[in-house]
Amino acid sequence: MNHEDMASAPYPAGQPVVGDVVAVGAIRPQAGDLVTVRSRIDPQVEFNTRLTLSVPDGTWKAVVFSIERAGQRLAEFGGVRLEDEVEISMDHFASVLRCMPAH
């Protein structure tokens, strides 16, 4: 993600619903999916993000909607704040929750 190469925007039209947790190595992420990324500075810190846009070099833009360390919520860590837009490389995804549009 930005600031340290780790990684609540509203959903796009067609409100998504929560889907399945997907094995990270087997996915093709889509805008709207929820992604958790662990900090490289402190592996107990997790950034929960919503993917917004695929970038041509294989990374994703995402918006940070929560930051946690050992179960405690943080407003900021490593220069990244809630609602910041960040860039995340897929190889930094710790988990993915697939969100699908409601029909």
- Tens-place pLDDT, residues 63-90: 999 999 999 999 999 999 999 999 999 8
Determine the pLDDT at residue 8: 32
What stretches in the chain show pLDDT beneath 70?
1-27, 101-103
Determine the pLDDT at residue 92: 87
Residue 10 DSSP symbol = P
Whether the CA torsion 90, 62, 31, 67 is positive or negative: it is positive
CA 87 from centre of chain:
9
The per-residue b/e assignment along 36-55, b for 16 or more CB within 10 angstroms, e otherwise, is bbbbeeeeebbbbbbbbeee
Determine the pLDDT at residue 73: 97
**37: nearest Cα among 7, 77, 75:** 7
Which residues share a beta bridge with 76? Answer: 81
- pTM recorded for the entire structure: 0.72
In the three-class reduction of DSSP (H, G, I as helix; E, B as strand; rest coil), residue 56 is classed as coil
